[in-house]
Amino acid sequence: MKRIAATISVVFLFAITSALLLAQEENRFEVKTIDLGKGISMISTGAGGNLAACVGDDGVLLVDSEYAPLAAKVKTAIAALSAEPVSYVVNTHWHFDHVGGNELFAGDGALIVAHENVRKRMKTGQRIEVINVQVPASPEGALPAVTFSDTITFRLNGEEIRVYHPEAAHTDGDGVVVFAKANVIHTGDVVFYPGYPFIDISSNGSIDGVIAAVKGILAICDDETKIIPGHGPLMKKAELEEYLAMLEAFRAIIAAEIAAGKDLETILAEKPTAELDKKWGDKIFPPHQFTEIVFRSLKGE
């Protein structure tokens, strides 16, 4: 099958090296913190994935750790929230805009925690095939020291924090983080909002897995739940329902095209998702790339 070229925006998100970001891009990004109540904050830089922090007398639990060059800025932002150190870093998956700061926080004494497949993928070089990017193995100090296969629960700062693994969705190592008392959920990259998501089919991710994972998140939401997506602004349940409807509609369109015997190049040329593209296209990932991802996912390629 002919390779569909990745756009500049996608290559920037996944393929920019730490050295280049440090040398040329670091000063572009400003850490922003949103207080979600009950000791939970959403932290974002506009570069990598969204983070979350649970702060209190027991220490700090941090969800994800950003690109490596921006981790020091994140550390400074956390210090403004709490004088206590980061005790735990929970990685939602292995991509380096979510685990890049692991080594810094681990060096300060934090325990890195993730699904067992996150450690496996970080420990060896990986290739993200759809965007033609090779990712080197992570240094030993960045690897998760504690791994889980299904769920793991933390109890600190008066909060119960449950991390559960949906079946392979964005990757095969996803973790959804639920702050039960604060009624906050960090979805990891199961959710990109408000646009088409990236699904790493090289890491066993799939459109069907993402749809199932979003349904699972919705099942534990109510109208007051604050939802932190992997990328994008803070969400409510209604917005996540809208996101799910888009995923299901897009999948149905591409499945019908495949059933009609059309190949990827024909589907791309005919643009059968044009109506969806008007609202969701080019905000995060472009329509042609999401089309390729869904096509290859459904074809098992």
Domain-located, residue 190 = yes
Cβ neighbours of 203 (radius 10 Å) = 22
Q: What domain range includes position 148?
A: 8-237
* β-sheet bridge partners, residue 147: 114
Residue 12: is its pLDDT beyond 80? Answer: no
Domain-located, residue 274 = no
Domain-located, residue 255 = no
- Two structure tokens written together for 17: 């090296």
Domain-located, residue 260 = no
Contact 57, 47 (CB under 8 A): no
Domain-located, residue 98 = yes
The lowest-confidence range among 6-15, 140-149, 183-192 is 6-15
Amino acid 206: pLDDT: 98
Band (222; pLDDT cuts 50, 70, 90): very high
* Residues 36-70: b if buried by 16+ CB within 10 A, e if exposed: beebbbbbbbebbbbbbbbbbebbbbbbbbbbbbb
Q: Which residues have a Cβ under 8 Å from the Cβ of 79 and sit 6 or more positions away?
A: none
DSSP category for residue 235? B
What 3 state SS string does 175-224 have?
CEEEECCCCEEECHHHCECCCECCCCHHHCCCHHHHHHHHHHHHHCCCCC
Question: Closest by alpha carbon to 47, among 26, 61, 33?
Answer: 26
Strands, E assignment, 222-275: 226-228
Amino acid 30: pLDDT: 87
Domain-located, residue 300 = no
Domain-located, residue 201 = yes
Domain count, the chain: 1
- Two structure tokens written together for 250: 């897009």
Q: How far apart are CA 26 and CA 18, in angstroms?
A: 10
Q: What is the CATH number of the domain that holds 86?
A: 3.60.15.10
Q: Which residues have a Cβ under 8 Å from the Cβ of 283 and sit 6 or more positions away?
A: 194, 195, 196
Question: Closest by alpha carbon to 212, among 297, 134, 279, 117?
Answer: 297
Q: How far apart are CA 217 and CA 279, in angstroms?
A: 23
Please state the pTM of the whole predicted model.
0.92
Domain-located, residue 273 = no
For the chain, percent of residues with pLDDT exceeding 90: 84
* Residues 114-152: b if buried by 16+ CB within 10 A, e if exposed: bbbbbbbbbeeebebebbebebeebeeebbbeebbeeeb
Q: What is the mean predicted confidence (pLDDT) over 212-234? A: 98
Band (254; pLDDT cuts 50, 70, 90): very high
Strands, E assignment, the chain: 32-37, 40-44, 51-56, 59-63, 86-90, 111-115, 126-128, 133-135, 146-148, 151-156, 159-164, 176-179, 184-186, 226-228
Band (225; pLDDT cuts 50, 70, 90): very high
Q: What's the chain's Rg over C-alpha atoms?
A: 19
Contact 78, 86 (CB under 8 A): yes
Average pLDDT of the chain, as a whole number: 92
Contact 75, 105 (CB under 8 A): yes
Q: Which residue has the tokens 């643009």?
A: 271
Amino acid 301: pLDDT: 83
Amino acid at 7: T
Q: Which residue has the higher pLDDT, 2 or 110?
A: 110
Question: Closest by alpha carbon to 172, among 183, 188, 156?
Answer: 188
Question: Each residue of 173-211: pLDDT tens digit?
Answer: 999 999 999 999 999 999 999 999 999 999 999 999 999
